């Protein structure tokens, strides 16, 4: 068994796709409209679905926004350099909500960014 994807409901698919592809550097792996159900699924990731987990962005055409609630935490992405990743994300128009630095009570370097719908994405610096 393996994790295939995590699904996030998004209010504006084009805005979300721009964030995940242009700001974070993912690729659109596949996209399908379902007119009878009035929704679109778009899968994004850093590599092929067969090789790693991806994000499924679900856009229900008649729902412009969602309440995030308090149960969901974040999506985590490994980066080579969290400080450089934050600088690149800001330069591309992304929102850094926790600057890169050691995590509290530890030494792992982390940062947090926020997508257009308010979902948190943790950047975890790869240990060398």
Domains of the chain by start residue, with CATH: 5-60 (3.10.180.10), 75-125 (3.10.180.10)
* Residues with catalytic roles: 122
pLDDT for residue 71: 87
> Tens place of pLDDT for every residue, the chain, 128 residues?
889 999 999 999 999 999 999 999 999 999 999 999 999 999 999 999 999 999 999 999 999 999 999 889 999 999 999 999 999 999 999 999 999 999 999 999 999 999 999 999 999 999 98
pLDDT for residue 20: 98
Sorted by sequence, the CB contacts under 8 Å of residue 82 that are 6+ apart come out as: 100, 109, 110, 111, 123, 124, 125
- CA–CA dist 75, 100 (Å, integer): 16
What are residue 46's phi and psi, to 5 degrees? Answer: -90, -15
């Amino acid at each position: 068994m393996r994790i295939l994807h995590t699904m996030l409901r998004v209010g504006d698919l084009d805005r979300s796709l721009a964030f995940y592809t242009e700001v974070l550097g993912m690729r659109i792996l596949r996209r399908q409209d379902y007119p009878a159900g009035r929704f679109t699924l778009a899968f994004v990731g850093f590599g092929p679905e067969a090789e790693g987990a991806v994000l499924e962005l679900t856009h229900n055409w008649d729902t412009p926004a969602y309440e995030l609630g308090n149960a969901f935490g974040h999506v985590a992405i490994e980066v080579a350099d969290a400080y450089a990743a934050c600088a690149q994300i800001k330069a591309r128009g992304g929102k850094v909500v926790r600057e890169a630095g050691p995590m509290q009570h530890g030494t792992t370097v982390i940062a947090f960014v926020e997508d257009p719908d308010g979902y948190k994405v943790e950047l975890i610096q790869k240990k060398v």
